[in-house]
Amino acid sequence: MIRLLFLCSRNHWRSPTAEAVYQNDPRVEARSAGVSVSAQRRVTEKLLRWADLVLVMDREHKARLREQFPDLVRDLRIEVLDIPDDYEFMNPELVALIRERVEPLLG
């Protein structure tokens, strides 16, 4: 089972949607968090160490991880999904984009 950590800015729309999409998938265990200080659930070192694969919504999130966790990030597998902050929670277009971008990474 692969442990997926989905990250966006505030853990408000995109990453919680991704977590919900993969919540009952038997191939993975999914969690979500945000990289901003105003995130509903903020990313921690413990969460990053838990993850096999960190999936960020855009390049800015990856850059923030490098700033916040410089020693830890070099040992992580981080993939950028390139999903803009244009959708609300569980928007069908957002769900489709998440599946389209994540499935190839699950191999």
* C-alpha count within 13 angstroms, C-beta hemisphere, residue 68: 15
> Per-residue pLDDT for 87 more than 90?
yes
Q: Is 6 helix (H, G, I), strand (E, B) or coil?
A: strand
- Write the CATH number for 16: 3.40.50.2300
Total domain count for the chain? 1
Query: Can you tell me the distance from the alpha carbon of 28 to that of 60, in angstroms, rounded to the nearest whole number?
Result: 25
- The pTM of this model reads 0.97
* pLDDT tens sequence across 29-79: 999 999 999 999 999 999 999 999 999 999 999 999 999 999 999 999 999
Range of the domain at 47: 2-106
